[in-house]
Amino acid sequence: MEKIIITVLGQDRPGIIAAVAQSLYERDCNIENVSQMVLQSEFVGLFVVTVPGDATLDNIRDALRQDLSAMELDVQAKELVAPKQTPSALQWEPFLITTMGPDAKGLVARITSVLARHGANVTNLKAVFQGGENPDRNIMVYEADVPAQGNREALYAGLREKAREMGLEIIIQHRDIFDAVNKI
């Protein structure tokens, strides 16, 4: 085993990263990559870690759970395996799909089901509530890689139909326009 990925989930508070890093350091692990975010009050961290040859996945995970128990954090770990097939970047085109309108159960499921049906891979998803007193100002932004050779018109039509059913406004744009405006 060379690399493992560890997820840490729990209520956000000062010191979580420090505690995780200390625990891993004490077991001779090296943190290669980290991504973390806070959604509402919950912290979630993803750590890609190289581990020493004599360590096992269970050792590392159990040690972390013990070290972090006082912070009431949930810890999971799995082996990191190389992807079976790395798609060439040229086969995909990045799009941003924005929906605006009333929040509803199943909103994300219905939009992403259309994306999945057309082979598009959601690479990022963001929800922003801009409404103040207005419940209709719910904005979802899906960043998705769309197959370059796929039927773009059918994907657009499917997304627009789904948005119409839910009373949402939808805007579909190639990501380059955001790069053009925001990255100079």
Q: Which stretch binds another protein (CB under 8 A): 3-11, 38-46, 61-69, 174-182?
A: 174-182
Cα separation values, 108 from 14, 73, 79, 137, Å: 31, 27, 29, 15
Q: Which stretch binds another protein (CB under 8 A): 15-23, 59-67, 72-80, 171-179?
A: 171-179
Angle at 137 between CA 158 and CA 115, to 5 degrees: 20
Per CB under 8 A, 130 contacts another protein? yes
Nearer to another protein, 89 or 128 (CB): 128
> Which one of residues 57, 63, 80, 141 is an interface residue with another protein (CB under 8 A)?
141
Per CB under 8 A, 173 contacts another protein? yes
CA distance 88 to 25: 36
- Sheet of 3-11: strand order equals 30-39, 42-50, 3-11, 74-79
Per CB under 8 A, 40 contacts another protein? no
Per CB under 8 A, 1 contacts another protein? no
